[in-house]
């Protein structure tokens, strides 16, 4: 496992181009420096970070709402909880294809049909730049909302009961209890959910590949898609590998910061 | 507040919760229902405007998956779905078997012994959870082309270890650590070697945990798409890569694609109900129980 990775790291410092093997040179940091002047790289970097930020906020926010809902004693709670596992364990690419069928831009697309009752004009889901970004976000959320919700639900069910009794004795309303008791106690679980979702949404590939392939107009090209295009469509292995390493560093930095936050949250919550 | 106002408030809250629950249920289940319906439609019903809920169901799409006919015209480049399904089975079972065989001793060592670089090894294993696949697949692709592992089941099983092996080791480690130390000490006093402790005490006691690990590992392998996309060819495509083949031709075969997604999802749907209590633990590599 370490060998292929080491080899790849080495390639990122070379001008490895599969079709021109005799141009193979060790070029030091040329591939990395070259990226800075590449407009597509800047946009891919922006999209990678922006998408991860929005996806994490949306999914953790909604996930918290769903977890609180499932924690309340609603009828059919166990059934909903079991059913939520299904999107979670679907192959993401299959999820993407399911939504691709529902998001057909023609009038036969069920999603546009349902939206028409809400007075929304037919959306060009994968054909417009904004539509494509929103589509990828919706598909990713459908598959991963259950993950966040179930982590947070597990956290809610493990919370001690004493602080709640104390808060009620002090006359706190539901909103105050949520703000001053539940959220602080739940914070290690929230940070953990953010950590896993951030790691995965920075690297999202299969959903984008199956739906927009990075388009239209590179609107949904993130670093992983870009590295794929460089290495497997244009066979510039050295450059593709350099982009992969940049993405890896990005994921490592974000994960490291979130792990530190998690340690701190776990300490202060106990 | 009067008692009427309180009960009215409670009533509103109850209704709001119920509405939220229904919305959640529809959001979760409707895509499955719709794809199932689509997979049972004839091409005419699929493109009907507005979309129809009532139609004469047909199994043509499923039949086409098996024999590869597209509404009468035979295509030589048809996706060979039964083969993709078989490929998925072979690769996933192979990957899990290899991971469990290699993972049991590794997990035992991580759970029970202290040795130099133990922390480093644990970190390296965990780090596979956040390495972008493209960083592995580029060198693997180049190596596989040279040594002849490209487009082979063995090559894919080896590549899948990047997904299943770290997961297996971490999961087994967390299950092994739940076996009480006293029982292991007792077995040692009765004359068991460390291998005997592993074989006669830990493995039998953590059998449920091992089964869960096997099922989840199988499911993660089944879901894999990125590695086979680059490392497999038409003869070794698993269902995930196979299902996408329905869009790469002149037209999108919506009905067959819907049928393919249902078939590709089926093992996941059945297995996830079996291991539902452990899925979150598996996805977080044991961080949340």
| ipTM confidence score | 0.86
Where are the domains positioned within chain B? 3-74, 81-283
pLDDT tens digits for range A157-200: 888 888 888 888 888 888 888 888 889 889 989 999 999 999 99
pLDDT band at A107 (very low <50, low <70, confident <90, very high): low
Partners of B70 in the β-ladder? B73
- Structural tokens at position A104: 């057909």
pLDDT tens digits for range A54-81: 999 999 999 999 999 998 878 888 888 8
Q: For residue B137, what is the enclosing H or E element?
A: helix B133-147
* Confidence at residue A92, expressed as pLDDT on a 0 to 100 scale: 92
Q: Residue A64's closest CA among A164, A172, A187, A160?
A: A187
How far CA A18 is from CA of A3, B12, B133, B198, B232, in Å, comes to 20, 66, 20, 48, 18
Residue-range domains of chain A with CATH: 27-89+127-269 (1.10.3720.10)
Q: Residue B99's closest CA among B35, B41, B146, B167?
A: B167
pLDDT tens digits for range A233-247: 888 888 888 888 899
> Which runs of E-coded beta strand occur in chain B?
69-70, 73-74
- Angle in degrees, CA B49, B53, B59, rounded to 5: 100
Q: Which residues contact A268 (CB under 8 A, 6 or more apart)?
A: A184, A187
For residue A178, the 8-state DSSP code is I
* Confidence at residue B215, expressed as pLDDT on a 0 to 100 scale: 92
Q: Residue A88's closest CA among A134, A149, A135, A136?
A: A149
- Look at the block and give the residue holding tokens 């005997």: B196
Euclidean distance between CA atoms B145 and B138, whole angstroms: 11
B244 at A interface, C-beta within 8 A: yes
For residue A120, the 8-state DSSP code is P
The residue among A142 and A26 whose pLDDT is bigger is: A142
* Confidence at residue A269, expressed as pLDDT on a 0 to 100 scale: 67
- Structural tokens at position B128: 């596979």
Cβ-Cβ contacts under 8 Å, B139 against chain A: 4-5, 7-8, 11, 241
Q: Are B227 and B159 in contact (CB under 8 A)?
A: yes
The residue among B7 and A44 whose pLDDT is bigger is: A44
Minimum Cα–Cα distance from A116: chain B residue: B50
* Confidence at residue A235, expressed as pLDDT on a 0 to 100 scale: 82
* Confidence at residue A1, expressed as pLDDT on a 0 to 100 scale: 66
Residue A53: helix, strand or coil by DSSP? helix
Class of domain B81-283: mainly alpha
pLDDT tens digits for range A29-39: 777 877 888 88
As a whole number, the mean pLDDT across chain A is: 86
pLDDT averaged over consecutive 10-residue blocks of chain B (289 residues)? 73 87 91 91 79 81 73 57 91 95 90 78 74 87 89 92 90 87 84 82 88 92 92 89 76 82 90 82 72
Cβ-Cβ contacts under 8 Å, A82 against chain B: 273, 276
* Confidence at residue B289, expressed as pLDDT on a 0 to 100 scale: 63
For residue A14, the 8-state DSSP code is B
CB nearest A91 (choices: B29, B222, B287): B222
Cβ-Cβ contacts under 8 Å, A8 against chain B: 135-136, 138-139
User: Which span out of A90-104, A219-233, B88-102 was modeled with the highest average pLDDT?
Assistant: B88-102
Q: How many cross-chain Cβ pairs, A to B, lie less than 8 Å apart?
A: 205
pLDDT band at A146 (very low <50, low <70, confident <90, very high): very high
CB nearest A192 (choices: B260, B261, B284): B284
Provide the chain B residues 21-40 that lie in CB contact (below 8 A) with chain A.
Answer: 21, 24-25, 27-29, 31-32, 34-35, 38
């Amino acid at each position: 496992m370490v060998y292929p990775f080491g080899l790849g790291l080495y390639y990122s410092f070379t001008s490895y181009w599969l079709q021109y093997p005799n141009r193979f040179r060790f070029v030091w940091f040329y591939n990395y420096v070259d990226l800075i002047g590449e407009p597509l790289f800047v946009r891919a970097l922006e999209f990678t970070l922006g998408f991860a930020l929005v996806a994490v906020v949306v999914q953790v926010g909604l996930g918290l709402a769903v977890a609180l809902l499932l924690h309340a004693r609603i009828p059919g709670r166990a059934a909903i909880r079991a059913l939520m596992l299904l999107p979670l364990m679907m192959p993401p690419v299959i999820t993407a294809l399911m939504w691709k069928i529902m998001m057909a831009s023609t009038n036969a697309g069920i999603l546009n049909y349902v939206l028409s009752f809400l007075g929304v004009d037919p959306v060009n889901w994968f054909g417009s730049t904004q539509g494509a970004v929103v589509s990828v976000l919706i598909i990713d959320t459908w598959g991963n909302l259950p993950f966040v919700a179930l982590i947070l639900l597990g956290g809610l069910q493990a919370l001690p009961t004493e602080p709640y009794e104390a808060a009620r004795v002090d006359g706190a309303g539901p909103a105050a209890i949520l703000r001053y008791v539940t959220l602080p106690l739940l914070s290690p679980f929230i940070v953990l959910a953010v950590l896993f979702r951030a790691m995965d949404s920075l690297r999202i590939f299969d959903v984008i590949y199956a739906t927009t392939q990075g388009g239209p107009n590179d609107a949904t090209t993130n670093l992983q898609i870009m590295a794929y295009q460089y290495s497997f469509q244009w066979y510039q292995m050295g450059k593709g590998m350099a982009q992969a390493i940049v993405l890896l560093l990005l994921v490592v930095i974000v994960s490291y910061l979130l792990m530190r936050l998690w340690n701190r949250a776990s300490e202060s919550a106990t | 507040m009067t008692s009427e106002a309180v009960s009215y408030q409670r009533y509103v809250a109850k209704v709001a919760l119920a509405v939220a629950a229904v919305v959640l249920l529809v959001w979760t289940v409707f895509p499955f229902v719709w794809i199932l319906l689509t997979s049972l439609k004839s091409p005419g019903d699929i493109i009907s405007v507005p979309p129809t809920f009532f139609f004469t169901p047909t199994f043509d799409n499923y039949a086409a998956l098996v024999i590869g006919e597209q509404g009468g015209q035979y295509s030589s480049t048809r996706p060979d779905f039964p083969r993709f399904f078989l490929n998925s089975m072979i690769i996933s079972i192979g990957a899990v078997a290899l991971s469990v065989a290699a993972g049991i001793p590794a997990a035992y060592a991580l759970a029970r012994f202290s040795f130099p670089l133990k922390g480093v090894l644990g970190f390296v294993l965990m780090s596979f959870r956040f390495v972008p696949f493209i960083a592995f697949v580029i060198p693997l692709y180049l190596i596989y082309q040279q040594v002849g592992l490209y487009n082979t089941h063995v090559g894919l099983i080896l590549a899948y270890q990047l997904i299943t092996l770290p997961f297996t080791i971490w999961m087994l480690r967390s299950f092994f650590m739940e076996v009480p130390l006293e029982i292991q000490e007792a077995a040692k006093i009765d004359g068991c070697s460390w291998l005997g402790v592993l074989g006669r005490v830990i493995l039998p006691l953590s059998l449920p945990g091992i089964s869960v690990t096997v099922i989840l590992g199988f499911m993660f392998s089944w879901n894999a798409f990125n590695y086979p996309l680059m490392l497999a060819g038409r003869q070794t495509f698993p269902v995930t890569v196979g299902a996408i083949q329905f869009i790469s031709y002149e037209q999108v075969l919506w009905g067959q694609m819907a049928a393919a997604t249902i078939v590709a999802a089926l093992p996941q749907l059945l297995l996830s109900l079996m291991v539902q209590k452990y899925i979150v633990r598996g996805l977080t590599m044991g961080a949340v129980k």
